[in-house]
Chains A and B, each alone.
Chain A
Amino acid sequence: MATHTRYAPDRGLTVRMTATMFLLGLVFVVFVGLVIGIMTAAHASAAAIILVAVIFGGGSAFISLFYSDKIALAAAGAREVSPKDAPQLHGIVDRLCALADMDKPRVAIAPARMPNAFATGRNSKNSVLCVTEGLLYHSDLTQEELEGVLAHELSHVAHKDVQVMTYASLLAIVAGLLVRFAFYSEIFGGGRRGGNDGNAALLIPLIMLASAVVYAISFLLIRLLSRYRELAADRSGALLTQNPSALISALTKVSQGMNRIPTQDLRAAEPLNAFYFAPAMKLTRGGGGGGGGASLSALFSTHPSLEKRIEQLSKIQRELGQVGQDPRGLK
């Protein structure tokens, strides 16, 4: 065979990601079944609430997906740069895109001092890759480390992560809206119900409860999925540059850089957290005795722990150093 890859796909990661998505789908099916059940049993009022939540939730998800690049750029206060403005940055992206045979995203620079980068956009034609000034000018990243960060972000674009995560979050958005709507109608609609229908009084709290449970479960699953997507982007990025060592040291440096910056700055960056190369806002870990605190924060985190990411990259490092160990029988 003329075409072969030297690296076996990471089956463990694929299996875990499949399981997560299956669970999300399962929750979705159960939720839809529940909603239909309630709708048929209920009154127009409950049905209307659900309908409004679905329309609002779906609509807002669609809009945020469609304008994800513009929204994220505006939130970060970033400006697009031309090849003349940032020749070196464009040069790295040009070459990585040629290696990976993908469309070149637009390139932007955000004024934040913390070293970080993100990529967003609904598809490869409309995506934008943004790095902070902190990453370019104020961190001591070498060219190879910067390239590692950019390769990680380009992998997010190639994997269509913004789309995948939007679809995955759709359920949580609708469920979250339902909780809110049901809550408001409980408060404001309480007087009107009167002796009209005894069922309706029970229905609204029921929807609220179900939605709250669905929201909680899907929230955890989405965060889990997000962590797997980060690992997948690390892996693809390292295989693209063939330089996992540079990505490891970039990760270490960026994480350290994040810790040096005052909290105020990080809070401003928190809405973009899920997109970033390294998380801007970490949930505080329980100190010495807080083993439970640490695992809880890991559960809610959008990014895997630094140790986990480094561990995976070290595995790729070892694969690159091996001769004749290829499972496909390469000489």
Chain B
Amino acid sequence: MGFLDTLFGRTKPVQPKLDDLFGLPSAAVQLEAAAGFKPTGSGSVSFRAPEGKPFADIQKEVLELLDMDNGKPGGGLPVEVTKDTYGYTWLVSNHLSDEIDALVTDLHAVNSALVDGGFGPQLLCTLVAFRDENQRRLSLVYLYKRGTFYPFAPLGGGNNRDNALELQVKGVLGDDLRIEQDLTRWFPVWGAPGL
């Protein structure tokens, strides 16, 4: 925030950074080779739906766009829309586990549609789910405003995180993705759809 913004008590809406998302496919390869985690094929975009009709219209357009290629190879399943307990909307895209490229393309389509509509500041995070042979859950969370990723590994049923695994993943992916260095920003996304 600039000096003038402080002086006048203004906050500029923060625009999302989208490009780093395309680092995911190569990171997925690295993650499988080094830690044994495979993508489940499920990914989601989380955003804050503003009140008012303009946004509802755009959301509808995005859904129609994503569902156009259903049934074709790489098209994936219909997109699910859910609202979490914090009031954020999640668009969940489901693909086969080896279609991570198509998944990332889908996620990016959602982002760019929202940004083009002027709703970029509403994007919260994107989440891509992974699993290993022991059915341990892991997700990579992309923070739009920072342009960084962080690992989130829920443990068991309660609100526990596998911090050791998260830090291991941080080490494994350090070269492939921009990992969020400020650990206080690794907020837990309990109960995120598609996890």
* Residues of A in contact with B (beta carbons under 8 Å apart): 2-7, 9, 13-14, 17-18, 21, 83-84, 87, 90-92, 94-95, 97-101, 103-104, 143-144, 147, 155, 158-161, 163-164, 228-229, 232-233, 236, 239-245, 317, 320-323, 326, 330
Q: Is the CB of B86 within 8 A of A5?
A: no
In whole angstroms, how far apart are the Cα atoms of A9 and B187 in the complex? 31
* Residues of B in contact with A (beta carbons under 8 Å apart): 1, 5-15, 48-55, 57, 85-88, 115, 118-122, 124-125, 143, 145-146, 159, 184-185, 187-188, 190
Question: Which of A18, A87, A320 contacts B50 (CB under 8 A)?
Answer: A320
Q: Is the CB of B124 within 8 A of A9?
A: no
In whole angstroms, how far apart are the Cα atoms of A285 and B97 in the complex? 67
Question: B53 — nearest CB in chain A belongs to which residue?
Answer: A321
Q: Is the CB of B86 within 8 A of A91?
A: yes
Show 20 A/B contacts (Cβ-Cβ < 8 Å), sorted by A.
A2-B15, A7-B13, A14-B8, A91-B86, A94-B187, A98-B185, A98-B187, A101-B145, A104-B184, A143-B86, A158-B11, A161-B9, A229-B9, A236-B9, A236-B10, A240-B11, A243-B87, A244-B51, A321-B54, A330-B118
Question: B146 — nearest CB in chain A belongs to which residue?
Answer: A101
In whole angstroms, how far apart are the Cα atoms of A245 and B49 in the complex? 13
Q: Is the CB of A232 within 8 A of B125?
A: no
Instruction: Report if A233-B48 is in contact (Cβ < 8 Å); known contacts: A91-B86, A98-B185, A326-B118.
Output: no
Q: Is the CB of B145 within 8 A of A98?
A: yes
Query: For A330, what are the chain B residues with a Cβ–Cβ distance below 8 Å?
Result: 118
Query: For A158, what are the chain B residues with a Cβ–Cβ distance below 8 Å?
Result: 1, 11
Total A-B contacts with CB atoms under 8 angstroms apart: 124
Question: Which of A90, A103, A159, A228 contacts B6 (CB under 8 A)?
Answer: A159
Question: Which of A18, A90, A99, A236 contacts B145 (CB under 8 A)?
Answer: A99
Closest chain A CB from B174 CB (angstroms): 22
In whole angstroms, how far apart are the Cα atoms of A90 and B10 in the complex? 24
Closest chain B CB from A123 CB (angstroms): 11
In whole angstroms, how far apart are the Cα atoms of A236 and B187 in the complex? 23
Q: Is the CB of B87 within 8 A of A147?
A: yes
Query: For B7, what are the chain A residues with a Cβ–Cβ distance below 8 Å?
Result: 17, 21, 164
In whole angstroms, how far apart are the Cα atoms of A13 and B39 in the complex? 50
Query: For B88, what are the chain A residues with a Cβ–Cβ distance below 8 Å?
Result: 95
In whole angstroms, how far apart are the Cα atoms of A94 and B11 in the complex? 18
Query: For B55, what are the chain A residues with a Cβ–Cβ distance below 8 Å?
Result: 242
Question: B18 — nearest CB in chain A belongs to which residue?
Answer: A2
Q: Is the CB of A155 within 8 A of B6?
A: no
Query: For B8, what are the chain A residues with a Cβ–Cβ distance below 8 Å?
Result: 13-14, 17-18, 232
Q: Is the CB of A159 within 8 A of B9?
A: yes
Question: A93 — nearest CB in chain B belongs to which residue?
Answer: B187
Instruction: Report if A242-B118 is in contact (Cβ < 8 Å); known contacts: A94-B187, A95-B86, A99-B145.
Output: no
Query: For B120, what are the chain A residues with a Cβ–Cβ distance below 8 Å?
Result: 3
In whole angstroms, how far apart are the Cα atoms of A239 and B14 in the complex? 11
Query: For A242, what are the chain B residues with a Cβ–Cβ distance below 8 Å?
Result: 48-51, 55, 122
Interface centre among A84, A143, A161, A236 (most CB of B within 10 A): A236
Instruction: Report if A5-B51 is in contact (Cβ < 8 Å); known contacts: A94-B187, A95-B88, A143-B87.
Output: no
Query: For A155, what are the chain B residues with a Cβ–Cβ distance below 8 Å?
Result: 9, 11
Query: For B11, what are the chain A residues with a Cβ–Cβ distance below 8 Å?
Result: 100, 155, 158-159, 236, 239-240
Q: Is the CB of A3 within 8 A of B9?
A: no
In whole angstroms, how far apart are the Cα atoms of A21 and B159 in the complex? 48
Q: Is the CB of B48 within 8 A of A99?
A: yes
Closest chain B CB from A101 CB (angstroms): 4
Query: For B53, what are the chain A residues with a Cβ–Cβ distance below 8 Å?
Result: 321, 323
Q: Is the CB of A99 within 8 A of B10?
A: no
Question: Which of A104, A144, A228, A245 contacts B9 (CB under 8 A)?
Answer: A228
In whole angstroms, how far apart are the Cα atoms of A13 and B9 in the complex? 10
Q: Is the CB of B184 within 8 A of A103?
A: yes
Q: Is the CB of A2 within 8 A of B184?
A: no
Closest chain A CB from B82 CB (angstroms): 16
